Chain A
Amino acid sequence: MTSLNSTDPLLRIYKDAEILRASSGKPLADRVVTDIFTYSEKLAGQVVQRENIGQVEWRERIDRIVISRVFGYPLMLILLGLVFWITIEGANTPSQMIATALFAFQDVLTGVFNALGAPVWLHGLLVLGMYRTLAWVIAVMLPPMAIFFPLFTLLEDLGFLPRVAFNMDNLFKRAKACGKQCLTMCMGFGCNAAGVVSTRIIDSPRERLIAILTNNFVPCNGRFPTLIAIASIFMTSAVALSQSLVAAGFVTLLVLIGISTTFMVSWGLSKTLLKGEPSSLILELPPYRRPKIGAVLYRSIIDRTIFVLRRAIVVAAPAGAATWILANVHVGQLSILGHIAGFLDPFAQVLGLDGFILMAFILGIPANEIVIPVLLMSYLATGQLTEFTSLMELREILVSNGWTWLTAFNTMLFALLHWPCATTLMSMYHETGSKKWTALGFIIPTLIAVSVCFGVAQIVFLLGLA
């Protein structure tokens, strides 16, 4: 009570109140609350009429299964896989359609440039660099996002997510973290920056920090398509099953790896940098609600479309232009891009990757969506993207640049675990107010990504598997 001076009448009365309180034995503050509740219970009893709840509602039936010992975990796993599968399968056709349309329009642009007699380099920069990247990102990113986000919003509206937190809380408790971290991870699936902001639902600052620092291990919508693309391009050729199914399987596997990493890192942080005891959990399980499917889908799809388009224009297009410049400006024999990649290559090889991949990830700091376009652009000696026609073609490009199954797998691992994107880092800084923790938010995932890839690569090399 330092702000009141000692002769202040309020302070005197406060002290009197303390004495009175102490002398009464039982906690008086509790009595105050209890009395309010006694009245509200009485009043509610007077005015609320409930029909006999003899029959078990459909809600309770669902809950019995959802939290059951037998079905709880498998159900969540299946649901996760299902969401991914619907996203992948559903995004296929729209992606093709958008790609076809946008690349057709590119020809129109080229025609215009030719007609105006524009210099080749300008055409290259604006059309082949900027526009192509823009088109690629929109075609590849928009459909999955426009499907995934609405699905997730539906689950959220349904009231399903607190049940997931309920089921998973035990694991979080072991890691000395808060069960609500689960909900922030769910947000992170959509966007890691949003996931970081959503950690506000966690009261304890220590547990909040843990949730913030580990949110990155859940792949956001910008990284999903990267995982899906690589899985689809590389992992599916040998298997006879439906391509979407296999891709979904791989993505689910990676997400599980990401979730396990989250637990391990949370546990590690609780033992080292963020020591402390877990706080109490009070989680409300609201009743299931039938969401207004139409309204949710409509709103969500429009929201996501605008979001993706805006990011594509603001980030992807300039990045595409920049990459084109780096790829087409030569210093000596090599392009700048080639130099950088060459410089990074020895280190990257040890990780089971190559210099171009590492460079693409670095260039992807502003936005993860551009990693694959940048990578493909750099591989093609002409420094321009081919058209998104067939997966086989893309596979050829990768293989001819030295990709093996290990490269693909490690690239996916790296995509999953590596440093957060610029927006997420900014959110971290905004939420923590601390440069130190933001820096750690960058360093920890990076170290983990590097060690894991290193470990996997070396073991595979040792065993002569690739």
Chain B
Amino acid sequence: MDTENVPLSLLRPGERAHVVDLALNGLLRRRILDLGIVPGTALTCIGRAPAGDPIAYLVRGTVIALRSEDAIGIRVNPSLDKNMLG
């Protein structure tokens, strides 16, 4: 069950993961934190825009879209649990 940590941008639509840490700086980091994307948070990848970017994620009951070059800084651990929250 234990898989390696991957960048968030690699998550495919429908896949779920937990945040491990944030390799981001400055304003983007604060914004991400304020949205509740902190270590331990569960996320689900909802889908990608037609061009492949940005990517929509479901986190804490809200859908947020991020560009892949920003999502790449968020490291996650893909989880296989059936937890429906997040």
Given A30-B38, A53-B84, does the pair A285, B47 have CB atoms closer than 8 Å?
no
Given A167-B50, A169-B54, does the pair A283, B64 have CB atoms closer than 8 Å?
yes
Bound CA–CA A179/B51 (angstroms): 13
Interface string of B41-69 (1 = CB under 8 A from A): 10000111111111010001011111100
Query: B84 touches which one: A52, A64, A68, A73 (CB < 8 A)?
Result: A52
Determine which residue in B33, B48, B62, B84 has the highest number of CB atoms from chain A within 10 A of its CB, and name it: B33
Bound CA–CA A377/B18 (angstroms): 68
Query: B46 touches which one: A63, A170, A282, A283 (CB < 8 A)?
Result: A63
Query: B47 touches which one: A34, A37, A64, A280 (CB < 8 A)?
Result: A64
Q: Does A115 contact B (CB under 8 A)?
A: no
Tell whether, in the assembled complex, residue A170 and residue B49 are in contact, meaning their CB atoms are under 8 Å apart. Answer: yes
A171 to B: closest C-beta gap in Å? 8
Q: Does A123 contact B (CB under 8 A)?
A: no
A205 to B: closest C-beta gap in Å? 13
Q: Does A72 contact B (CB under 8 A)?
A: yes
Query: B54 touches which one: A34, A64, A283, A286 (CB < 8 A)?
Result: A283
> B residues 2-61 with Cβ under 8 Å of A?
22, 27-28, 31-36, 38-41, 46-54, 56, 60
Q: Does A422 contact B (CB under 8 A)?
A: no
User: Which residues of chain B have C-beta atoms less than 8 A from A50's C-beta?
Assistant: 84-85
Tell whether, in the assembled complex, residue A285 and residue B65 are in contact, meaning their CB atoms are under 8 Å apart. Answer: yes
Which B residues form the contact surface with A (CB < 8 A)? Answer: 22, 27-28, 31-36, 38-41, 46-54, 56, 60, 62-67, 70, 84-85
Tell whether, in the assembled complex, residue B65 and residue A166 are in contact, meaning their CB atoms are under 8 Å apart. Answer: yes
B62 to A: closest C-beta gap in Å? 6
Query: B67 touches which one: A45, A52, A63, A280 (CB < 8 A)?
Result: A280
User: Which residues of chain A have C-beta atoms less than 8 A from B48's C-beta?
Assistant: 67
User: Which residues of chain B have C-beta atoms less than 8 A from A30's C-beta?
Assistant: 22, 33, 38
Bound CA–CA A68/B52 (angstroms): 10
Q: Does A173 contact B (CB under 8 A)?
A: yes
Query: B56 touches which one: A38, A52, A166, A170 (CB < 8 A)?
Result: A166
Q: Does A33 contact B (CB under 8 A)?
A: yes
A45 to B: closest C-beta gap in Å? 8
Chain A residue nearest to B37 in the complex (CB): A37
Chain B residue nearest to A52 in the complex (CB): B84
Q: Does A392 contact B (CB under 8 A)?
A: no
User: Which residues of chain B have C-beta atoms less than 8 A from A280's C-beta?
Assistant: 27-28, 31, 66-67, 70
Bound CA–CA A239/B62 (angstroms): 49
Bound CA–CA A159/B46 (angstroms): 17
User: Which residues of chain A have C-beta atoms less than 8 A from B38's C-beta?
Assistant: 30, 33-34, 37-38
A408 to B: closest C-beta gap in Å? 34
Chain A residue nearest to B50 in the complex (CB): A72
Other CB < 8 Å A-B pairs besides A33-B33, A169-B54, 20 of them?
A30-B22, A30-B33, A33-B34, A34-B40, A41-B36, A63-B46, A67-B47, A67-B48, A67-B50, A68-B47, A68-B50, A169-B65, A170-B49, A170-B51, A171-B51, A281-B66, A282-B35, A282-B64, A282-B66, A282-B70
A227 to B: closest C-beta gap in Å? 28
Tell whether, in the assembled complex, residue B49 and residue A67 are in contact, meaning their CB atoms are under 8 Å apart. Answer: yes
User: Which residues of chain B have C-beta atoms less than 8 A from A173's C-beta?
Assistant: 53, 67
- A selection of 11 A-B contacts at a CB cut-off of 8 Å is A37-B41, A40-B36, A67-B50, A72-B50, A73-B50, A166-B65, A170-B54, A280-B70, A284-B63, A285-B63, A285-B65
